[in-house]
Amino acid sequence: MLPGANGWTVFREAVEGITGMPVISKFYGIVIRMLCTRSLGARFHAIYNDSELVVGIWPLTIIQGDAPGRVREMVLEWAAQHQHELLAAWNRGSFGQRPFAIAPLQ
């Protein structure tokens, strides 16, 4: 889990308010948001309750955070199924366009 769940909630709200982190998918209580900042590289955030994962898109890897094992597995499974769409969404967002929604895990 990222340090101090309440602190991260405040941080996440601040980031969303300043730069926008649009929701691109939701499944099984997991919310996928994308922060499209070129300096940070292609990544997305998977939020589940008070847990958050930051996941690199290419290569597909958990960069930071922690979540229950099954949540990590589902996020990585979903990301593997949609890796090209995730990269396209991130590229779109990094040019100031809203990323397209991506289908949930089936």
- The model's pLDDT over 20-42, given as tens digits with 9 standing for 90+, comes to 799 999 999 999 999 888 888 99
Q: The pTM is what?
A: 0.81
pLDDT of residue 2: 45
Report the DSSP beta bridge partners of residue 103.
none
How wide is the angle at C-alpha 76 spanned by C-alphas 75 and 78, nearest 5°?
65
- The model's pLDDT over 60-104, given as tens digits with 9 standing for 90+, comes to 999 999 999 999 999 999 999 999 999 999 999 999 999 999 999
Residue spans per domain, the chain: 5-94
Average model confidence (pLDDT) for the chain? Answer: 86
Q: What is the mean pLDDT of residues 37-64?
A: 95
pLDDT of residue 63: 97
Q: Is the pLDDT of residue 16 over 80?
A: no
End-to-end CA, the chain: 25
Four-CA torsion 79, 53, 12, 88, nearest 10 degrees: -20
